[in-house]
A = this chain, B = another copy of it.
Amino acid sequence: MPELPVAQVLERVDANLDASVERLFDILRIPSVSTDPAFKDDVQRAAQWMADELAGLGFEAAVRPTTGHPMVVAQHPGPGGDAPHLLYYGHYDVQPADPLELWNSGPFEPVLVDAERGKRIVARGAVDDKGQVMTWIEAFRAWRDVHGTLPCRVTVLLEGEEECGSPSLDPFIQANAGELKADACIVCDTGMWDVDQPAITYSLRGMVYQEVILRGPSRDLHSGMYGGVVVNPLNLLARIIGELHDANGRIRIPHFYDDVIPAGANEKAQWEALGYDEQEAMADIGLPSADGGEAGFSAIERQWARPTCDVNGILGGYTGAGGKTVIAAEAMAKISCRLVPDQDPKAIAENFRRFVTDRLPAGYTAEFSDIGGSPAIRVPTDSPYLGAARQALADVFGKEAYLIGTGGSIPAVGSIRKYLGIDSILLGFGLEDDKVHSPNEKFELVCFHNGIRSNAAVLARMAGITKSKG
């Protein structure tokens, strides 16, 4: 198969930018809030919009039902021959827009706003994830406009439940593994190092999320009659939570660190070289310094490569106005641990539960609920597909991409590894200050533009891989 040149494709991307923005605005106008049943029809409409868009580019595209919101699956044969087969995973649903009063313009009325880095696109979903998904779709369009086809075989999988826990994703991937199986997966839900510096994310933390309800006396008690007599479930829960960390911020759940692989000197040096400005990052959230987590580790290492144990919610007793002198019968906390390779979510969950129950006095019980769990992921950095993506970024930016970690979790990456047996390349163009999940979410126009150019270049570099598969 003759190699298709990329230069004209990139010119086409540049010439098309205004129209690309218009198309992005079209999909941003559909309020596809997946977590709120009131938007069910809009979610369906957004799925159909994506399928139609891909069909218009020569994909065989369909909206596929699930027990929740639908999937969009689209197939493009590419040029034929032994071109690599890429799976693109993204999502077309968005977070709720509230609190609405904090938006400067309507969350579903996208606008271009002038700011310090040029124009920015402001709307719910601008970067998470519609804007990022459109960086591929516009790259596909430019390839097709110039060469009539794509240089690789492409499968697109878009889900509509990413913002509500992806309940249908695993069953769908498992049931359709034959159709979705590819050579590598490209995932766009990540960010750049900064506006000029591209990055590929190679490590993601996992998670164990547990709810615990401690119960003691059979009913709420008067603190005058029972204070100092019985163990107060709220004090008890607080004490147990307090004991989860030692004075150095190290987590005291037994065996918690048994499988944690310490970062190597090379990895640490690489992080050091990134020149992360801790004070600037903290100033953005109103704090003078990054004082959480384990002593003796940099903030970057604590975020990307160290496990955590955080209370995400706590509730007990009287919480209205004024006071009530009650000793509550029960107390609830939602507690999650971010995990790193090779911690086992099941073992951590069990040891957490034992840590709590070991601290209960006679007659006190703890009821636990599993809210979620997924292992951490580290993508091999030596695969030809990741190499091709790095080359493509160098082509577009004139500099090497950083390999970075992220403290968050993208469960789809684990599912794709588990059910399709392939690794993901986490290639995204968001910035730290994009206000993901917050009012005035934005995507810098320059990031959107560079994202399209990069994805166009990635397709060219991927097409150049000599496949070793059978």
Contacts and interface: CB of A to CB of B under 8 A. Distances in A.
A336 B323 contact: yes
A322 interface: yes
A453 to B, nearest CB: 25
A378 interface: no
Interface string A193-231: 000000000000101010100001111111111111111
A348 to B, nearest CB: 14
A470 interface: no
Interface in A412-470: 432, 435-440
A185 to B, nearest CB: 20
Contacts of A241: 234-235, 238-239, 242
Nearest to A407: B224
Contact of A317 (B291, B313, B324, B409): B313
Interface string A297-334: 00100110011111111111111111111111001101
Contact of A324 (B222, B307, B437): B437
A24 interface: no
B228 A407 contact: yes
Contacts of A205: 224
Given A316-B314, A323-B209, A294 B228 contact: yes
A275 interface: no
A371 B325 CA distance: 11
A314 B234 contact: yes
Given A224-B338, A234-B312, A312-B326, 14 more contacts: A35-B320, A37-B321, A211-B323, A225-B432, A226-B303, A227-B336, A228-B293, A228-B307, A229-B290, A234-B310, A239-B245, A287-B363, A291-B362, A313-B318
Interface of A: 35-37, 95-96, 98-99, 102, 163-165, 205, 207, 209, 211, 216-232, 234-235, 237-245, 282, 285-294, 299, 302-303, 306-328, 331-332, 334, 336, 338, 361-363, 371-372, 406-409, 432, 435-440
